[in-house]
Structure 1
Amino acid sequence: MENNTENAKGKEWIVKNKKNIYISLAIISTIITISFIYIFSVNSNVKQWQSKIYPNIVVNGVDIGGLTKEEASLKLKQELSAPIMDKILKIRVGDKEVDLKYSEIEPVYDIDSIINEAINFGKMGSIFEQDNLIEDGAGHKIDAQIAYNEDKLKEFEEKVKTEVNVIPVDATISINNGNIAITKEVVGKKINEENLHNKLVENINGNPKDLVELNFELEDSLAKVKASDLEKITGKISGFTTGYTSTGDGRVTNMSIALKAVNGTVLMPGEEFSYNNIVGDTTPEKGYEKANTYVGNEIVPDYGGGICQVSTTLYRAAMNANLKSTERANHTLTVSYSDPGLDATVAYGVVDYKFVNSYDFPVYIEGYIGGGTVGFNIYGNKEALSGKTYQLVNEVHEKYNPEVEYIDNPALKEGEQKVKINGMPGYKASSYQITYENGVEVSREWISTDVYRTTNTVIERGTKKQ
C-alpha cells in the first residue's frame, strides 16, 4: 500500500517537473527570440545610419545630424561658407573704427575634414552604443575653424596703421650765417603692431554668428630727431669747396639738384649716410640733364653728369670732420676738380659713397653752390672735438704719361694733323688722414691707395693728296 502511494507521488513530481521544464524552455525560447528580434532591429537600425551622420551633431551652430556626406556638405556651404564672407570683426581704436570684413582675408573651411569627423563620430562603438547615439542623439559639437590668407591679414593690419597712426614730426634745425634755429619735435601716436596682430589671430574664428569687437589704445610714437639732440649741435666742425667753370651745359643744373637733396641732412649718432639713397637716380623726370661723365674709360654725355663733383666735395668735408667712409671708390680716370686719391665717384645702383656718424651727437650737413663754387659745411658739437681738426691729403707714387696714337683721316690733306682725343696721365696715389691737436699734427692714418688709368692722345693725320 505504501509502495503504491510512493509511486503515485513520484509520477506526480515527474509530471510537474516536466511542466516546469517546458515552461522554462518556452521562456528561454521567447527571450532568445525577442533578443534576436531586438538585435536584428538594432543592427538594422545601425546599418541604416552607416552612411549618415548621427543625430544632434552640430558644426558651429549648424545641425547636420541625419544627413549624408553630400547633404551635409551642401548645408555647411550654404550656412557656413556663404555667411562667413559677410562676417565683420569690429576694430575700435580711440574714436576711430576700422572693420575687418572676413571676405578680405579669403576664409575657407576644410569641409571634407569636418564631414569626415562628423560621419565617423560614434561609429567605432558597439552596435548598442551606436543605437543609443541614434535614439538619444550624439550631442557632439564640432568647432570648425577657418584657414585664411595671412598676407591679406597683413594688408589689413597695414590699413589699420595707416588710418589710426599719427606720424611724429622730427625736430628741425636751420642755420643761417652760422646762426642756429631749432624747432621742437611733435610726438605722434601709434597702435601696438604685435598686440594688434595677436588679437586678430586670437579672435578670427569660423562661427558666422560669433560677433566680436576689439578695442585698442594708441601709444606714443616718439620722433626720431628730438630738439634735445639737435641742441648738441653748437657750430661748424668742417667744410670743403671745389670749383667749376662750365655753365653752358647741364652740369651745373645736375650739381644743384643733387646738392639740394643732400642739403639739410641730419645724421644721428651711429646712422649711415648713403649718397645714392639720398640723391637717388639721376633721371630726366627729376630735372637732370645730359652732361659729360665717365662711363668706363670714356667721357660721354649722360643724365646726371657732374654729380660726382658733389659727392667728392662732400667726401672731403666729411673726412675733414673725421667721418670715416664705409663705402667709397675713386674714378677710373682723374678729374679736374680733385687731386688723385681724394675723389669719390658714384653711380646709382652700382657705386655708392657712404659714411657713418661715429660721434655721440648729431651732425648737420649744409650744402651750397654758386659763383663757380660747390661747398659743404658740417655742423656738430665743436666743444666735443677738444681742439682736434682733420685733413685728408694725398701722396702720388707713380705717374703714367699717355702715349700718342695716330689714325689716318682721308678728309684731311697730307701734312695736316688734328687732335681727336687729348690724352690724360694715369696715377697711383694714396690718401692719408691727418689729425691735428691745436694745430699740431699728432697722427697720420692711411686711408686708401687708388689707381687711375691713362688715356692716350689720339691724333688724326691727313692722307688726302694735294
Structure 2
Amino acid sequence: MLRYRKLSFLLCILLCITFLLGMNKVEDTKGKKIFKNISIENIDIGGLTYKEALEEINKYYKEKDININYEDKSWTIRPDEIELSYNIEKALSEAYDYTETESKLENIKRKTGLILRRNYNIDLKATYNEVKLSNFIESICKEIDVDVTQASIEIKDSGEIIRKPSKEGKEVQIIKLKEDIYNMICDKKIKSLDLPVKIVNPAITTEDIQSINTVLGQFSTSFNEHNSRGSNIHVAGKSTSEKLIMPYEIFSYNKATGARNWVNGYKTAKVIIGGKYVNGEGGGVCQVSTTIYNAALLSGMEIEEVHNHTMPSRYVPRGRDAAVSYGYTDFKFKNPYSHPIYIKNIVSNGAITSKIYGCSQDRERLYIKTEEKIDKTNIIVKTYRVYLDEENNKIREELIATSKYKLK
C-alpha cells in the first residue's frame, strides 16, 4: 500500500512537470521568455523576454562614465574609450540557452531543478581594454606629474656661494589608480574617484644647502703641472670636486673618480708599486686623495678607509698620505654631522687645494699630530687628531691611522 502511494506521488509530479514543460515551450515559442528561477547577479529574470530582462539588468549594471577628480581638475573615462563591458548580452544568451542544450534529457533535468526552485544564477563578467586605460592614465600623468627639484649649491674658486632652492614634485600613483579602477569595474560599482597623487619631497632641501656657510678645513699640496702626472692631478681634482655629501653619507674616492684609464682622461705616469717608482695609469691621483684626506682630517670627518704608500710621499709628511688603487684600495670618509658638507678642489698654478665646506656650527678646534718610531726595516707612524676647547686646552685625541713605510 505504501509503495503504491509513493508511485502515485511520483507519477503526479511527473505529469505536472510534463505539463509545465509543455506550457513553457509554448511560451518560449511565442514570447521567447527565459525559464523561471534563472537570475543574473541575483536579479530574477525568469519569465522575462530579452528586452524586459535587458531593461531590468540595466537598472543596476549599465556601463557608466568613470569620473576622476583632483583639486580643480577632472577627467571622464567613457565606457567606449576603454571598451568597458559587463557582457550583459552574453549573460542573457546563457540564461536563454541554459534550458536549450542539445541534450533533451539534460534540458528536462535542468527545468525540473528550476521548477523545484533550484535557482541558477549567472555572474556578469566585466572586461575592459588595459592598454587603452593605461594610455588614458598616461595622459593624466602628463598634466599632473611634476619632477622634483633638488636644491643645489655651487662654490666658485673665489669662495662665492651660489644656491638654487629645492622644489617638491608630484607623481600620480599609477598602480593605486589602476587598482582602484580595476576593483570598481570588477565590483560593477562605478563611482567618482579621487586621483591618488604622491608628493615627492626633495632629498636635498633648500634648508640643507643654506647651512653650508664656512670652510671647515682645507689643505694644499704642490706639483709639477707640466707633465702627465700633473695632467692626471687636474683630472682627478675635477672629478672629486663640487661633491655634496649629505649627513652620515660616505664619500668614496674611487667611486668619484672612476677607473683611472685613458677613457676617463688619465695618462701614464709614475706610481709607487712595491716600493719602487714605475710607470702606471693614473699616476698622480694619490696626491689628490692625500690632499682631500688632510682636508677631511682637519674638518673632523670620520675616516672609514685609508692606506699609506710603501714609501713616504714627497708632497706630504709621513702618516698623512692616502694611497689608492682602483678596485683594490680606496679612501673613504663619512660626514658625521647633521648638516651636509661640500668638497671643493682648486687646481691651479702647480698646486691643488681641497676645501671642505659645511655649517659653522660644526667647526671644531683641532690639529693633527704624528708620532714615529723605527724598527729594523720600517718606519711606523701613528696619526692622531687632537681636539681643543676655546682656550686651546686639549679635550681629547683620537688615533686615526697607523702607517708603515719601508726603510730605504
Same fold (TM over 0.5): yes
Q: Tell me the matched-pair count.
A: 327
Q: Is the Cα–Cα contact under 8 Å of residues 263 and 365 in structure 1 kept in the other structure?
A: yes
Question: Which runs of no fewer than 5 residues in structure 1 stay unpaired?
Answer: 1-20, 42-54, 60-88, 100-118, 120-126, 402-425, 456-466
Quick one: which of 241, 244, 268 aligns to 1:290? Answer: 268
Mapping of 1:250-265 within 5 angstroms? 251-265=229-243
Match of 1:418 in 2: none
Q: Deviation at 1:273?
A: 2.1
**Aligned mates of 1:272, 1:190 — CA distance in 2:** 29
Mapping of 1:136-285 within 5 angstroms? 138-141=120-123, 164-178=145-159, 180-191=160-171, 193=173, 196-204=174-182, 216=195, 218=197, 220-245=199-224, 247-249=226-228, 251-285=229-263
- SS of structure 2 residue aligned to 1:204: helix
Aligned-CA RMSD value: 4.8
Shift in alpha-carbon separation, 1:382–1:165, aligned structure 2, 3 A: closer
**Aligned mates of 2:211, 2:197 — CA distance in 1:** 31
Match of 2:367 in 1: 391
- SS of structure 1 residue aligned to 2:283: coil
Q: Is the Cα–Cα contact under 8 Å of residues 342 and 393 in structure 1 kept in the other structure?
A: no
Q: Is the Cα–Cα contact under 8 Å of residues 219 and 355 in structure 2 kept in the other structure?
A: yes
**Aligned mates of 1:96, 1:347 — CA distance in 2:** 58
Mapping of 1:60-75 within 5 angstroms? none
- After superposition, the C-alpha distances for 1:190-235 in whole angstroms (9 at most, x for unaligned) are 2265xx433333433696x999996636555444444444343333
Larger radius of gyration: 1
Q: Is the Cα–Cα contact under 8 Å of residues 172 and 227 in structure 1 kept in the other structure?
A: no
Mapping of 1:338-357 within 5 angstroms? 338-357=316-335
TM-score of the aligned structures, taking structure 2 as reference length: 0.62
Question: Which runs of no fewer than 5 residues in structure 2 stay unpaired?
Answer: 20-36, 42-65, 78-97, 99-108
Quick one: which of 100, 108, 114 aligns to 1:132? Answer: 114
**Aligned mates of 2:5, 2:337 — CA distance in 1:** 106
| Mapped pair 1:440 → 2:397 | no
| Code of the aligned partner of 1:377 | K
Q: Is the Cα–Cα contact under 8 Å of residues 187 and 220 in structure 1 kept in the other structure?
A: no
Q: Deviation at 1:340?
A: 3.1
Q: Is the Cα–Cα contact under 8 Å of residues 187 and 221 in structure 1 kept in the other structure?
A: no
Shift in alpha-carbon separation, 1:316–1:130, aligned structure 2, 3 A: farther
Shift in alpha-carbon separation, 1:197–1:130, aligned structure 2, 3 A: farther
Match of 1:116 in 2: none
- SS of structure 2 residue aligned to 1:139: strand
- After superposition, the C-alpha distances for 1:113-156 in whole angstroms (9 at most, x for unaligned) are xxxxxx9xxxxxxx78973289986123276899x9xxxx9xx9
Q: Deviation at 1:316?
A: 0.4
- SS of structure 2 residue aligned to 1:342: coil
Q: Deviation at 1:369?
A: 1.5
Shift in alpha-carbon separation, 1:37–1:177, aligned structure 2, 3 A: same
Question: Once the two structures are aligned, what percentage of the paired residues are identical?
Answer: 23
- After superposition, the C-alpha distances for 1:226-249 in whole angstroms (9 at most, x for unaligned) are 444434333323211122236322
| Mapped pair 1:375 → 2:356 | no
| Mapped pair 1:429 → 2:407 | no
Q: Deviation at 1:432?
A: 0.8
Match of 1:450 in 2: 403
| Code of the aligned partner of 2:220 | T
Shift in alpha-carbon separation, 1:40–1:283, aligned structure 2, 3 A: farther
- SS of structure 2 residue aligned to 1:190: strand
Shift in alpha-carbon separation, 1:287–1:163, aligned structure 2, 3 A: farther
Match of 2:32 in 1: none
**Aligned mates of 2:213, 2:171 — CA distance in 1:** 36
TM-score of the aligned structures, taking structure 1 as reference length: 0.55
**Aligned mates of 1:164, 1:227 — CA distance in 2:** 21
Shift in alpha-carbon separation, 1:356–1:27, aligned structure 2, 3 A: closer
